[in-house]
A and B are shown apart, each in its own frame.
Chain A
Amino acid sequence: MSEKDPRKHEADLHPDKPRGATPAAEETAAVVALDTAGGAMEPSAVPATAQSGKLPGGPDTLVRKIFTGNGMVSILAVFLALIIGGLLIASTDEQVGRTSAYLFARPADFLTAVWNAATGSYIALFQGSIFNPRGSSVGVQFAPFMETLTIATPLITAGLGVALAFRAGLFNIGAQGQIIMAGILAAWVGFALDLPLGLHLLLVLVAGIVGGALWGGLVGLLKARTGAHEVILTIMFNYIALYFLRYLLNTPAFQRPGDSNPISPILDPNAVYPQILGTQYRLHLGFVLAIAATVLVWWLLSRSTVGFEFRAVGANPKAAQTAGINVSRSTILVMAIAGALAGMSGVAQVAGTEKVLTDGVAATYGFDAITVALLGRSTPWGTFAAGLLFGAFRAGAVQMQIQTGTPIDIVLVVQSLIVLFIAAPPLVRAVFGLNPRRRKPAAAGTSQKAAATGGAA
């Protein structure tokens, strides 16, 4: 993803390049550039060959297209990861271990134990994330789903930030730091100021979004001005944000009066998101804002000029530059918007679920967001769906741990496997027998090459 990045210097070479003769001509040129770049919708962060490469040999039937398309690979990757996760659960299960000792005397016991361990855990996962049939009322039965939505909220908005940057060809690892900076500002406004209802929450939201946007925009600025690589920048900015947060939590201004633990005062009741479906659920207004953000990003990417420029830059920055798009400006702007979206996650954390600021405010959402964006193929609604899925994993994992004793870390393993499989679509296709039949050895060679590229991603 990084080696093919010519835009870096391009932006510096022609900062004031005159615009094309007519806007219409510009647009046409850019469209041509996009098309020739191949797969305008693809994030450049993952090699195009690994994602959507034309299948070598074999007729491209409609069915095959559906099954080998990106969406199908995502779904199959999740499915495959769940199967392997199930086997892992089974392998650590006590009953499985016991029955394996007499596998040949009574193999049915062993197989039953494997089946029970895996399905038991996944049923608990489902009950903890979607629907709990043992609930006393409909409200209680759907409480797990509300929990899923709650946990999905910061994942969706941070994921959108990462996805948007992907589309502009930027690999934004910095959601974690952006969430933290947003959390700091939003929390401070929330506990230090005393403002009327409505205004206070609005200010908390604005403070968080501004905090994230500044932290992200700064990366964009440094990249545009100096050509520094955004991956290095965002990683370093994550550290700066975290240590800045820890420093602040050691100052009395961010501690509770009479207490020196690194935990901020509780946010003012006026400064927190209202619980939209009643106090029995943690689901808060932030989720509605996450839906709004998804719509906004969709509109931005597919309906607005700015979004068109982002995509053009992401597809081929040189062509975009030639077509008169200001690449520097796009870089700064897209990072600022990405930071603002991640900032919404920070607000969802401090004003939605936690209501205090600690050094765990960002949890691992900044990094999970990368997976979410990848799984969602960097499309707004794909990211939204992936965020819901990961929210369900996280919410369900808590129940799974309590009901079946399955370690909560298994969810992390499943998440990691999903990333692995998404990065290697030919592998996933091979597992499900969806790779095209090879008639000639030459075709096989091409396919292997694609696999190698996919693996590198």
Chain B
Amino acid sequence: MKTSLRAHLKRGSIASVATMGATALLLAGCGAPPEAGSPSATARDYTGCIVSDSGGFDDQSFNQSSYEGLKKTEKDLGIKVNQVESQTNNDFEPNLRAMVTAGCDLTITVGFLLGDATKAQATANPDSHFAIIDFGYNPAIPNVKPIIYDTAQAAFLAGYLAAGSTKTGTVATFGGIKIPTVTIFMDGYADGVKYYNEQKGKDVKVLGWDKASQDGSFTGDFTKQDVGKQLTQNFLDQGADIVMPVAGPVGKGAGAALNEAKAAGKDVKLIWVDSDGFLTAPEYKDIMLSSVMKLMGEAVETVVKEDADGKFTNTPYVGTLANDGVQLAPFHSLDSQVPADLKSELDQLKKDIVDGKIKVESAASPKA
């Protein structure tokens, strides 16, 4: 009895789901078919291609920014775009080879892991052009353009800003994995704080990174947000009130911890990296002091445009404060909390760095 009832109910629910589905299809399928033969045009006979590392184009980090930059050129320049994701390191070589065979004029590869594979394909195909993000060659390869960033310059400003904004006299940072593209942020940040201390005779402490020993706090990967949250909590317990996570999506863990602290009445702030966090991570915009931006999309656009115009060179593109390749993002809603003095000091500092009066150095700085 019981079972038959259940069977009946089950059948009934399946029937109703089926009816609903059919109704949806009926409603969705009532449109009119398009007229036959719609024109399509390609403006330029040029193909730009991109190969990701195993992070994929949705990594909320450099793969994504580079991909979005290339996608933008598709519209702006009217070129064709071809993209392929690598699932594992084994895919690099076949992916790159496929791109060259598919007739890509310029192939962009993302990250140091693709360094060897890019070099091999570039050497085997001297007529194809390549660009590689966040990696440089020594000696240079004639048909590969490295796109690298002197991120320490912008991070220096962030460190100075943090030191000038902290109420507790302690600021913090942590990284995802200890690789040069991460530690360069932390070096600049620590130096910015140090410079502030020297100028103002203060003693603002930095937690999470020691430039001299090149060692600090890392979450171990770019995925585990809970570890980032835990680290941030530790920093808060040790008296820090401003945190700069350099760990891609793991930064959200730091944001969550800081949001909780803020809800508990603490005056805490977050410094985002890579993109303007106020726009890309709006859930933390009430605590977003600023961001250390590394404008990869723009660089990709520039390089593609140059190559499409026949002006390819293998001179590395180095993003600096001078060419706006790296920037300190606007303060947005926290603008009123940054004193005017500090703002003008930051402007002056930026000028001095651009003019070379202040040298920002990091072991991870691009050697160009």
Report A's interface with B, CB cutoff 8 A: 98, 100-106, 109-110, 147, 151, 243, 246, 250, 260-263, 266, 282, 349, 353-356, 358, 360-361, 363-364, 394-395, 397-399, 401-402, 407-409, 412
For B85, give its contact among A260, A353, A356, A408 (CB under 8 Å).
A408
Tell yes or no: B88 within 8 A of A by CB: yes
Residue of A nearest to B111 (CB): A261
Contacts of A394 on B, CB cut-off 8 Å? 87, 90
Smallest Cβ distance from A134 to chain B, in angstroms? Answer: 10
Instruction: Tell me, in angstroms, the Cα distance from A110 to B30 when the chains sit together.
Output: 13
Tell yes or no: B29 within 8 A of A by CB: yes
CB pair B32–A262 under 8 Å, yes or no, is no
Contacts of B31 on A, CB cut-off 8 Å? 101-102, 105
CB pair A246–B177 under 8 Å, yes or no, is yes
Tell yes or no: B263 within 8 A of A by CB: no
Contacts of B94 on A, CB cut-off 8 Å? 147, 282, 395, 398
Instruction: Tell me, in angstroms, the Cα distance from A128 to B238 when the chains sit together.
Output: 55
CB pair B33–A260 under 8 Å, yes or no, is no
Contacts A/B (CB < 8 Å), 18 sampled: A101-B28, A101-B29, A102-B29, A105-B31, A105-B32, A260-B180, A260-B183, A262-B178, A262-B179, A353-B90, A355-B116, A360-B113, A361-B89, A364-B87, A398-B95, A402-B95, A402-B102, A408-B84
Contacts of A397 on B, CB cut-off 8 Å? 87
Within 8 A of A (CB), among B152-199: 177-180, 183
* A104 and B30 contact, Cβ closer than 8 Å, known pairs A243-B220, A261-B180, A353-B90: yes
Instruction: Tell me, in angstroms, the Cα distance from A102 to B90 when the chains sit together.
Output: 43
CB pair B89–A261 under 8 Å, yes or no, is no
Tell yes or no: B91 within 8 A of A by CB: yes
Residue of B nearest to A261 (CB): B112
Smallest Cβ distance from B81 to chain A, in angstroms? Answer: 11
A-B contact count (CB 8 A): 94
Interface residues on B, range: 35 or more
Contacts of A349 on B, CB cut-off 8 Å? 90
Smallest Cβ distance from A381 to chain B, in angstroms? Answer: 24
Instruction: Tell me, in angstroms, the Cα distance from A103 to B21 when the chains sit together.
Output: 14
Contacts of A353 on B, CB cut-off 8 Å? 90, 93
CB pair B177–A358 under 8 Å, yes or no, is no
CB pair A102–B220 under 8 Å, yes or no, is no
Within 8 A of A (CB), among B24-47: 25-26, 28-34
Smallest Cβ distance from B11 to chain A, in angstroms? Answer: 17
Beyond the given A102-B33, A261-B135, A407-B85, please list 17 additional residue pairs across the A-B interface where CB-CB is below 8 A: A100-B29, A103-B29, A105-B31, A105-B33, A106-B33, A246-B177, A260-B183, A263-B112, A263-B115, A354-B89, A358-B89, A360-B54, A363-B87, A364-B88, A394-B90, A398-B91, A401-B84
Instruction: Tell me, in angstroms, the Cα distance from A402 to B82 when the chains sit together.
Output: 8
Scan B100-125; emit 1 where CB is below 8 A from any A CB, else 0: 00100000000011011000000000
Tell yes or no: B363 within 8 A of A by CB: yes
Among all A-B residue pairs, the 3 with the closest Cβ atoms: A103-B29, A363-B88, A101-B31
Contacts of A358 on B, CB cut-off 8 Å? 89, 113
Residue of B nearest to A362 (CB): B88
For A104, give its contact among B26, B54, B178, B364 (CB under 8 Å).
B26
Smallest Cβ distance from B197 to chain A, in angstroms? Answer: 27
Contacts of A260 on B, CB cut-off 8 Å? 179-180, 183, 363-364
CB pair A398–B84 under 8 Å, yes or no, is yes
CB pair B33–A360 under 8 Å, yes or no, is no
Instruction: Tell me, in angstroms, the Cα distance from A360 to B98 when the chains sit together.
Output: 21
Contacts of B33 on A, CB cut-off 8 Å? 102, 105-106, 109
Contacts of B220 on A, CB cut-off 8 Å? 243, 246
Instruction: Tell me, in angstroms, the Cα distance from A259 to B87 when the chains sit together.
Output: 25
* A262 and B29 contact, Cβ closer than 8 Å, known pairs A364-B88, A398-B95: no
* A363 and B177 contact, Cβ closer than 8 Å, known pairs A104-B26, A266-B116, A399-B98: no
For B88, give its contact among A250, A261, A262, A360 (CB under 8 Å).
A360
Residue of A nearest to B49 (CB): A402
Tell me the dominant secondary structure on chain A's binding face.
loop
Contacts of B115 on A, CB cut-off 8 Å? 263
For B90, give its contact among A105, A151, A243, A246 (CB under 8 Å).
A151
Contacts of A263 on B, CB cut-off 8 Å? 112-113, 115
Residue of A nearest to B178 (CB): A250
Residue of A nearest to B54 (CB): A360
Instruction: Tell me, in angstroms, the Cα distance from A372 to B91 when the chains sit together.
Output: 19
Residue of B nearest to A110 (CB): B29
For A402, give its contact among B84, B177, B364 (CB under 8 Å).
B84
Contacts of A282 on B, CB cut-off 8 Å? 93-94
Smallest Cβ distance from A280 to chain B, in angstroms? Answer: 10
Scan B200-224; emit 1 where CB is below 8 A from any A CB, else 0: 0000000000000000000010000
Contacts of B54 on A, CB cut-off 8 Å? 360
Residue of B nearest to A154 (CB): B90
CB pair A363–B84 under 8 Å, yes or no, is no
Contacts of A402 on B, CB cut-off 8 Å? 82, 84, 95, 98-99, 102
Instruction: Tell me, in angstroms, the Cα distance from A356 to B95 when the chains sit together.
Output: 18
Contacts of A103 on B, CB cut-off 8 Å? 25, 28-29
Residue of A nearest to B364 (CB): A260
Contacts of B113 on A, CB cut-off 8 Å? 263, 358, 360
Which interface residue of B82, B88, B93 has the most chain A CB atoms within 10 A? B88
Instruction: Tell me, in angstroms, the Cα distance from A21 to B239 when the chains sit together.
Output: 74
Smallest Cβ distance from B337 to chain A, in angstroms? Answer: 37
Contacts of A106 on B, CB cut-off 8 Å? 33
Instruction: Tell me, in angstroms, the Cα distance from A75 to B169 when the chains sit together.
Output: 66
Contacts of A261 on B, CB cut-off 8 Å? 112, 135, 179-180
Instruction: Tell me, in angstroms, the Cα distance from A394 to B177 when the chains sit together.
Output: 28
Smallest Cβ distance from A370 to chain B, in angstroms? Answer: 16
Scan B1-39; emit 1 where CB is below 8 A from any A CB, else 0: 000000000000000000000000110111111100000
Instruction: Tell me, in angstroms, the Cα distance from A408 to B86 when the chains sit together.
Output: 8
For A398, give its contact among B98, B112, B364 (CB under 8 Å).
B98
Contacts of A110 on B, CB cut-off 8 Å? 29
Residue of A nearest to B214 (CB): A260
Contacts of B112 on A, CB cut-off 8 Å? 261, 263
Instruction: Tell me, in angstroms, the Cα distance from A360 to B114 when the chains sit together.
Output: 12
Instruction: Tell me, in angstroms, the Cα distance from A109 to B102 when the chains sit together.
Output: 29
Smallest Cβ distance from A156 to chain B, in angstroms? Answer: 15
Contacts of B364 on A, CB cut-off 8 Å? 260
Contacts of B180 on A, CB cut-off 8 Å? 260-261
Smallest Cβ distance from A157 to chain B, in angstroms? Answer: 15
Instruction: Tell me, in angstroms, the Cα distance from A364 to B88 when the chains sit together.
Output: 8
Instruction: Tell me, in angstroms, the Cα distance from A93 to B363 when the chains sit together.
Output: 47
Contacts of A408 on B, CB cut-off 8 Å? 84-85, 87
Instruction: Tell me, in angstroms, the Cα distance from A105 to B29 when the chains sit together.
Output: 8
* A363 and B32 contact, Cβ closer than 8 Å, known pairs A243-B220, A261-B112, A395-B94: no
Within 8 A of A (CB), among B59-109: 82, 84-85, 87-91, 93-95, 98-99, 102
For A363, give its contact among B85, B89, B95, B135 (CB under 8 Å).
B89
Instruction: Tell me, in angstroms, the Cα distance from A355 to B179 when the chains sit together.
Output: 21
Scan B119-137; emit 1 where CB is below 8 A from any A CB, else 0: 0000000000000000100
Instruction: Tell me, in angstroms, the Cα distance from A250 to B175 when the chains sit together.
Output: 14
Instruction: Tell me, in angstroms, the Cα distance from A101 to B178 when the chains sit together.
Output: 50
CB pair B29–A104 under 8 Å, yes or no, is yes
Contacts of B28 on A, CB cut-off 8 Å? 100-101, 103
Contacts of B98 on A, CB cut-off 8 Å? 398-399, 402
Smallest Cβ distance from A372 to chain B, in angstroms? Answer: 15
